[in-house]
Structure 1
Amino acid sequence: MVLTAAAAAREILVRLHDVMAARTSAQAKLNAVTEIVADGLTSEVASIYLLREGVLELYATHGLDQAAVHVTTLALGEGLVGTIAQNVETLNLDEAAAHPDFAYRPETGEDKFHSFAGVPIIRRERAVGVLAVQHAEPRRYADIEIEALQTVAMVLSELIANAGLVDSAAVATTRTQSTATARVAGFRLVDGMGAGVAVYHQPRIHIEHTVAEDTEAERRRVYTAFDKMRDQIERMQQQAEFGVGGEHDEILEMYKMFAYDEGWSRRINEAIDSGLTAEAAIERVQQRTRMRMREIDDPLLRDRMHDLEDLSNRLIRIVSGRLGTAAQIGLREDSILIAKNLGPAELLEYDRRRLKGVVLEEGSLTAHVTIVARAMGVPVLGRAKDIKRQVAEGDPLLLDVTSETLFVRPTQAMEEAFETKLALSQKRRAAFNALRTEPPVTADGHRVTVMVNAGLRDDVAAVELTGADGIGLFRTEFQFLVSATLPARERQQRLYRDVLDAAGDKPVVFRTVDIGGDKALPYLDHDEAGEEENPAMGWRALRLALEREGLMKAQARALIEAGAGRTLNVMFPMVSEPWEFDEARAIFETQRAWLADRGRKLPNQIRYGAMLEVPALAEVLDLLLPRLDFLSIGTNDLTQFLFAADRAHPKLAVRYDWLSPSILRFLARVTAPARAAGVPLAVCGEMGGRPLEALALIGLGIDRLSITPAAVGPIKAMVRTLDRAAITAAMAGWLADPPADLRGTLTAWAAAAGVELD
């Protein structure tokens, strides 16, 4: 078929327009549609299946046995048609019977057909039917034919909804009406607690008219909507209440880049060319995006696609002239926002005084909305499955992200317990805040260094707020992860300089970029690594950076220029062997020499360190220590490598115990040579931020911790009640002859010694 996608769809839509306008029955219209589709795609079969009474019923066909109409049914997930509807996905097969989900229905007479292509008929984000074509000769349908099918499916959605042909439950979100208390579990994205009534974000506008009367008029509507949307984003960036600068500002820059993307506007224009209205054209492109998202394994890339979905929703609302979101209507009381997902700009539209929390069906730690929410100070619970089935608009909610729980329609006892916990949390924060200016010195006079981990420009403020000794780990990769393109050296330099300026006279340890593996970047080609079965142990961190020498040279020069006139601390991640450290250090020294030759101002000193995350490095520490200025142990990766246990796997969680004798013995074996060599040793990671685990680390002789800002207060409180000599002696005995339950033994010892753990 030698036609563009737009021309192919338009040819069919012109004929469909007449069918929809005719005063005939819905059945007659659907029969006519199958004939038009079969003719337009030169296909021998075209069939329409509709979701009725919970099953997919063959409702109209051209090419299959007419006796099968209203007789043949398939359950959701059954056969190719059921699979398309259940997964809301497209199938395009040259040999249908070879697909594992193929189900033969003899009454249809389909045994002579080999090719099969089908698309879901979508209404309000749910499949309410399937449009399928078949052909006797084995062949895959061309992309333009699939796009034409998807466009026809949009028109069919309007037709069948207006005719009332599908289950009402299929086009409305069902929820059991209940006044009973419910508890919804989720995933901690942004810590905090909040109480309020449930408010649905409601970002979707449901398209009522799909076929355009005047293509040029629709195009003008889209152009006007694009202009308004871009103006909104410009104003939003200027008025963000958490101020200018920081990664959230860079996120809005990237978001704005999507809004000005010519490829996106061109695809919408092509959809209008096919004969769709402005709203339907935007929705058509958005559906394609959603289907691509289902095929994307990379969570970071999926998060970027969510930004594009957010923009599509915004554009549809503008072009339709409808408000459509709770933000634009306005929050009337303290509220907890409920949404499938949110774009960063959508969150910024809400009144921070009324917005007490957000609950998402999806969401991730690297999503832009998470970063912006953290900057706004809004607690966020993610991955709350089926939230809309359990929560109605106006339901009273209690959100406790710390315990990863949402309480729906709470009892009075729950409310009292929540208020008590909130008051206690505030009291404890006040107590920890009182320790801000107090040094973390043990009861027997030993000074422990407590630093914070950071990755955002705004995180540096935590040093002053918590009274930490500096930043023991600044993750430089975050700037790379939120950017649509490789950050320019000048942009990197600005970030590093801002961080050093904000830290003042307190040290900052910059870890060079740790990307690759499970932190893949869409703008870097990862073909050399292939499809990684275990990305955590794959082509990432220093391994990737040494191969991508240009990337590391740019970062080295940016760091050296930013550190001019100060001490610069640089740490290399995932060092496995001494030669890797040597090569990385040489890149920095070459850049320092290059800048010196050109008369540039340099750091007063560059201190080089390594992260011990790969257990193999422990076997060659005697070779590496003489070259190091400091050493940091990354307990998160190190522990999963030692246990061969993925720390994200729920079934392996019990094996991932930082107080296992094997872990503690390993750390003791690393600590001894570092102390003998006079090399400062720190622990960076969650282990150091837990009071009981930190107690064990101090007992091993590790007195430098780099932890999350929220953990600084509890760790300081623990340190100031601890006798270091006593725990050192106790740990030596336990490691020599480990008790059956070392965690329990350590907890009992702390209680008897009066060490504050809570």
Structure 2
Amino acid sequence: MPPPSAVSAARTILTRLHDVMASRSNAQTKLNTVVDVIGEGLDSEVCSIYLLREGQLELFATRGLSQDAVHVTRLAIGEGLVGTIADNIDTLNLAEATAHPDFSYRPETGEDKYHSFAGVPIVRRERAVGVLCVQHVDPRRYDEVEIEALQTVAMVLSELIHSADLIDEEQTALSPAQTGPVHLTGLKLVKGLAAGNAVFHQPRITIEHVMAEDRDAELSRVYLAFDKMREQIDRMQAQAEFGVGGEHEEVLETYKMFAYDEGWSRRIIEAIDSGLTAEAAIERVQQRTRMRMRQIDDPLLADRMHDLEDLSNRLLRIVSGQMGTAASQGLRSDTILIARNLGPAELLEYDKRRLKGVVLEEGSLTAHVVIVARAMGVPVLGRVHGLKGALREGDELLLDADQGQVTLRPTPVMAEAFGARFAKSRERQAAYAKLRDVEPFTRCGTRIQVMINAGLRDDMPGLQLTGADGVGLFRTEFQFLVSATLPARERQTRLYRDVLDAAGDKPVVFRTVDIGGDKVLPYLRHNDGEHEENPAMGWRALRVALERGGLLKVQARALLEAAGGRTLNVMFPMVSEPWEFDAARDVFESQRRYLKGQKKLMPEAIRYGAMLEVPALAEMLDVIAPKLSFLSIGTNDLTQFLFAADRSNPKLAERYDWLSPAIMRFLRRVLLSVAGHQVDVTVCGEMGGRRLEALALLGLGIRRLSITPASVGPIKELVRKVDLAEIGEAMKGWLAMPPPSMREALTEWAEARGMEID
């Protein structure tokens, strides 16, 4: 909590700034006064303002530094602390400025005696046009309220320098050189290819008036805006029926929770009380949210903060009267949507016939919008840096979310090559679609079971579209991840029953909730609140479910009731030892006895299975196998545990290979351990959906795969070309005497037999 003196100082600064802005002094005089006001208010010996002129940051006004340096000292974007702030459009708050790697000393300023440093960017149209900074002799970090005061002042300065023509507007626009082709890379969120014209999801609202003239009038405007925004969310929730989905309603529940959050609205009202307009107050609180987002390591919490920013954008549009988004105006052609981030509710507003792809400056694999986009079949590329600085509305874009890149303003040759690849991809998809009703028999006549992985109602149509044999892995945790609160038993039951109804006579394997690790729920935390150093190997999956007994009991009842009169296939994740499986099965059996006593319709049969992800379980298969109906090998987690390599760490992504002899030998040992038991063995995960890896698995003896719906056609096509005896003999030889590269050896073997492996 900042000291009372800091709070009062911030308010004093804003009050005095109102008088400065209202005066008839020229711009330079106002800037000179502003640095004095801030320096006095924050008790800082130095306060300086740098503005962007002719491509460099020029010292325009200062209190504390040498006046001879004004209009003399210049820094390039990215040079020194000031240039770094402008380049990153981010805040710096340092107790010792010289310790920062980007520190650059300018002797003409006389700043060598100052230690502490804090600076914020002055932003106009999402680009830094200057920097406001303070310095102090004694080393200290500035309080959060002081940083917020600096950011508020920077907003005021943005208005001042714009009205005084202190910067050239074209410096905030695209450079003339940025008109040719540009390739940008990003994070593959939803794979796919798309072409279209760039459309900004939300044209940036430029706040022209920062300081309020009438506090009561601003409060009235923001109260009305809150009411209207909440009405929109309620209406959207009522109208968000999409496909056969119910998850979207749960996503919108999170939005509703934020929309009615008193803490958020209180901070905006406090900002208005300090002297800001409604628009500036919303932007001020939004800046604070962005700062916190950068400090959050938890991806799920970061996504919730993104939800809050989406609502801030909506509120800002309402209060400013600028409601025209790309969705409300309608898409006129094939479109690639551009946004900093995007909320799932906002994505649902778009015409699905014209929306071909989405490119985000931010975004993550666990974001709500990714779940919705995947259900819509819209490719998404995230974390594309420098996007808006290189792009104009209407530019032609080629989005390749398979390769993780987007091409801006392609040449005719680039467009032609992309078009050919796109056409080939569509031809392949059409050919795979024709295999929907074809059973995947090998050349030697063995039937291979090819199933899909799912986690949402919206994934279920993929079962019929691909002709898959069933759902080999239904991830029940997705319902928990998109919900604002712990899903009630009735809601879980409804989901599971809908999934079974959609599957018809095809089997569905429900994995009990697998949360923890990188799937953290804000409403379900450790009892002790301790931070986990290695969450992937920590309090997660079955460990959570067994500790939180009520969690597994509720899910057990929901699954049992949903499967009444049918066969229930239930699988426990991350089983390390047989007793964990026994304990989880006992929960289901006790709930079955209870419900049977209540005269509830029970499943005709229950088949229990375990996920083999923890290598330790492989040493106990002789003990646990007699109790299992099926065993599913989760290759993603299993591989990272075998190699002690975090699969979410990009530096380690290439350090291990699924076709490593170590993994192949391990999987073969698992198959030998369960031989003779009536246990169905399935490989789940990305490995089984890759053609070359699937070929190796078939050679090991795997006869059941559970993969993404998009991979079913390619794997079916591969299966029909395989002779199991031939590939089995080859794998046996390679495992006995591993070649220098198993991948290269297998590739050569497949290509020699006319098998496409890409």
Whether these two folds match at TM > 0.5 is yes
1:539–1:275: structure 2 CA closer, same or farther, 3 Å change rule? same
Structure 1, 587-596 or 699-708: larger mean CA deviation: 587-596
Query: For residues 169 and 627 of structure 1, what CA distance do their matches in structure 2 show?
Result: 72
**Paired residue type of 1:732:** K
Partner residue of 1:393?
A: 393
Aligned-pair CA distance for 1:115 = 5.3
- Matching of residues 351-362 of structure 1 within 5 Å: 351-362=351-362
Query: For residues 9 and 146 of structure 1, what CA distance do their matches in structure 2 show?
Result: 9
Aligned-pair CA distance for 1:709 = 0.5
Query: For residues 392 and 248 of structure 2, what CA distance do their matches in structure 1 show?
Result: 31
Contact 2:198 2:397 in 1 (8 A): yes
Aligned-pair CA distance for 1:641 = 2.3
**Paired residue type of 1:395:** D
Aligned-pair CA distance for 1:669 = 0.7
1:611-658 residue CA offsets vs partner (Å, 9 max, x unmatched): 111222212221221222211111112122223334344554444322
Partner residue of 1:129?
A: 130
Partner residue of 2:470?
A: 470
Contact 2:240 2:248 in 1 (8 A): no
Contact 1:303 1:366 in 2 (8 A): yes
Contact 1:8 1:274 in 2 (8 A): no
Query: For residues 117 and 744 of structure 2, what CA distance do their matches in structure 1 show?
Result: 61
Aligned-pair CA distance for 1:185 = 3.4
Is 1:448 paired with 2:448?
A: yes
SS at the partner of 1:575?
coil
Partner residue of 2:488?
A: 488
Is 1:619 paired with 2:619?
A: yes
Partner residue of 1:220?
A: 220
Query: For residues 111 and 90 of structure 2, what CA distance do their matches in structure 1 show?
Result: 22
1:296-347 residue CA offsets vs partner (Å, 9 max, x unmatched): 1222222222222222222222221224533333322222222332222332
- Matching of residues 663-678 of structure 1 within 5 Å: 663-678=663-678
Structure 1, 76-85 or 389-398: larger mean CA deviation: 76-85
Query: For residues 527 and 57 of structure 2, what CA distance do their matches in structure 1 show?
Result: 41
Contact 1:564 1:602 in 2 (8 A): yes
**Paired residue type of 1:157:** S
Partner residue of 2:63?
A: 62
Partner residue of 1:149?
A: 150
Aligned-pair CA distance for 1:214 = 0.8
Query: For residues 632 and 602 of structure 1, what CA distance do their matches in structure 2 show?
Result: 25
Query: For residues 176 and 475 of structure 2, what CA distance do their matches in structure 1 show?
Result: 43
SS at the partner of 2:460?
helix
Is 1:661 paired with 2:658?
A: no
SS at the partner of 1:571?
strand
Query: For residues 371 and 439 of structure 1, what CA distance do their matches in structure 2 show?
Result: 30
1:138-158 residue CA offsets vs partner (Å, 9 max, x unmatched): 665444333333322221221
The root-mean-square deviation of aligned C-alpha atoms, in Å, is 3.0
1:520–1:169: structure 2 CA closer, same or farther, 3 Å change rule? farther
Contact 2:689 2:715 in 1 (8 A): yes
Structure 1, 509-518 or 209-218: larger mean CA deviation: 509-518
Contact 1:197 1:334 in 2 (8 A): yes
Structure 1, 653-662 or 232-241: larger mean CA deviation: 232-241
Partner residue of 2:691?
A: 691
Is 1:258 paired with 2:258?
A: yes
Partner residue of 1:15?
A: 16
Aligned-pair CA distance for 1:705 = 0.7
1:677-733 residue CA offsets vs partner (Å, 9 max, x unmatched): 221111001111122222221221111110111111121222223222332233223
1:452–1:546: structure 2 CA closer, same or farther, 3 Å change rule? same
Query: For residues 184 and 2 of structure 1, what CA distance do their matches in structure 2 show?
Result: 45
Query: For residues 10 and 48 of structure 2, what CA distance do their matches in structure 1 show?
Result: 17
Query: For residues 141 and 741 of structure 2, what CA distance do their matches in structure 1 show?
Result: 61
Partner residue of 2:321?
A: 321
Partner residue of 2:28?
A: 27
Is 1:38 paired with 2:39?
A: yes
- Matching of residues 358-397 of structure 1 within 5 Å: 358-397=358-397
Contact 1:399 1:405 in 2 (8 A): yes
Is 1:572 paired with 2:581?
A: no
Contact 1:698 1:728 in 2 (8 A): yes
**Paired residue type of 2:460:** V
SS at the partner of 2:663?
helix
Aligned-pair CA distance for 1:287 = 0.8
Partner residue of 1:50?
A: 51
Contact 2:253 2:484 in 1 (8 A): no
1:440–1:150: structure 2 CA closer, same or farther, 3 Å change rule? same
Partner residue of 2:201?
A: 201
Contact 1:198 1:335 in 2 (8 A): yes
Is 1:176 paired with 2:174?
A: no
Structure 1, 137-146 or 566-575: larger mean CA deviation: 137-146
Structure 1, 569-578 or 122-131: larger mean CA deviation: 122-131
- Matching of residues 293-332 of structure 1 within 5 Å: 293-332=293-332
Query: For residues 416 and 115 of structure 1, what CA distance do their matches in structure 2 show?
Result: 55
Query: For residues 210 and 201 of structure 1, what CA distance do their matches in structure 2 show?
Result: 24
1:691–1:87: structure 2 CA closer, same or farther, 3 Å change rule? closer
Query: For residues 62 and 754 of structure 2, what CA distance do their matches in structure 1 show?
Result: 79
Structure 1, 676-685 or 200-209: larger mean CA deviation: 200-209
**Paired residue type of 2:670:** V
TM-score by length of 1: 0.91
**Paired residue type of 2:301:** L
Aligned-pair CA distance for 1:94 = 5.5
- Matching of residues 538-553 of structure 1 within 5 Å: 538-553=538-553
Contact 1:192 1:379 in 2 (8 A): yes
1:599–1:527: structure 2 CA closer, same or farther, 3 Å change rule? closer
Contact 1:9 1:151 in 2 (8 A): no
Aligned-pair CA distance for 1:501 = 2.0
Partner residue of 1:502?
A: 502
Partner residue of 2:746?
A: 746
Structure 1 gaps, min length 5: none
1:396–1:143: structure 2 CA closer, same or farther, 3 Å change rule? closer
1:334–1:90: structure 2 CA closer, same or farther, 3 Å change rule? closer
1:345-370 residue CA offsets vs partner (Å, 9 max, x unmatched): 33233322222222223222222222
1:246-271 residue CA offsets vs partner (Å, 9 max, x unmatched): 32232123223322222222211111
Contact 2:471 2:706 in 1 (8 A): yes
Query: For residues 753 and 112 of structure 2, what CA distance do their matches in structure 1 show?
Result: 79
1:29-66 residue CA offsets vs partner (Å, 9 max, x unmatched): 11222232234345554433334445544433334444
1:175–1:554: structure 2 CA closer, same or farther, 3 Å change rule? farther
Aligned-pair CA distance for 1:496 = 1.9
1:208-258 residue CA offsets vs partner (Å, 9 max, x unmatched): 100111111111111222233233333434444734633223212322332
- Matching of residues 158-169 of structure 1 within 5 Å: 158-166=159-167, 168=169
Structure 2 gaps, min length 5: none
Structure 1, 381-390 or 92-101: larger mean CA deviation: 92-101
Partner residue of 2:628?
A: 628
Contact 2:219 2:269 in 1 (8 A): yes
1:722–1:448: structure 2 CA closer, same or farther, 3 Å change rule? same
Contact 1:242 1:375 in 2 (8 A): no
Partner residue of 1:728?
A: 728
1:440-463 residue CA offsets vs partner (Å, 9 max, x unmatched): 222322221111101111111211
Partner residue of 1:716?
A: 716
Structure 1, 495-504 or 425-434: larger mean CA deviation: 425-434
Contact 2:629 2:678 in 1 (8 A): no
SS at the partner of 1:677?
coil
